[in-house]
Structure 1
Amino acid sequence: MYGGFHGVHEVGTAAKPGYVDGAIIPVLTARKDDYSALLKRQAAIFTELGATRFIDAWGDNVPDGKQTDFKKAVNAKPDETVVFSFIEWPSKTVRGAAWPKIFQDPRMQEDNAPGDDTRRIFGGFLPLLDA
């Protein structure tokens, strides 16, 4: 799978991450501005809890694959765009301590969210390169 994504929101600066969370989610195309506003609120929470960088990118060149692709992975509908996100942390320990607090933070609760969290794919990753 591959695709091109246009950055919609970035907080923090690039540095050598100790741990990275990555995700893709389908978002209603017509609600891009609502999603951007949501990201700004959420980025504040993540950075308060130790994230060093928070990036979300809007699907710009996301081709159909032969067997699978980003859209199929999240069962995106014709009126949705796939968003690719990643969060950089200084360590897996900081990330592990932050996530329970993130889920409990009332600012993370969103009625009528523009993205469908039931179809979000996410995971945590250890960086491979020491550049």
Structure 2
Amino acid sequence: MFSEMVAKLREGELPDPSLLRGRCHAAVTKKLAFLRLPPVYWESDPKRNPDSSHLLWAVLLLHDLEMLDAVKGIILMEQAERERLSLEVFVQQSLAELYSLAPTPKFRTLLEEQVASSSLMQ
């Protein structure tokens, strides 16, 4: 669901916020549907079961506090069944992965500023 966002980030561009917002809402709905199923039925296809890290990146880039609460809940539910990482550890690992997509140090700094200025991570 977020392949375009990831591709843009790798190219050193921020994704279009209006397109990202629509994808984010759809992805949260899909993810919540999967979390209602027993974990044995969770698929790994990101088009059907969006990656929680990508959801986190999207809400941070959108500065969407309401969606961040939903995504944090999704991460907590998913981690309770999978790797059992704390929310803080998951977020740290996810942000490290996001920053690693930056093709240049300048773009990495821009991403770090986007996350820091969102005031969502405080």
> Would you say same fold, with TM above 0.5?
no
Q: Which has the higher contact order (CA 8 A, sep 6+)?
A: 1
TM-score of the two chains, using structure 1 as the length reference: 0.27
Larger proportion of strand: 1
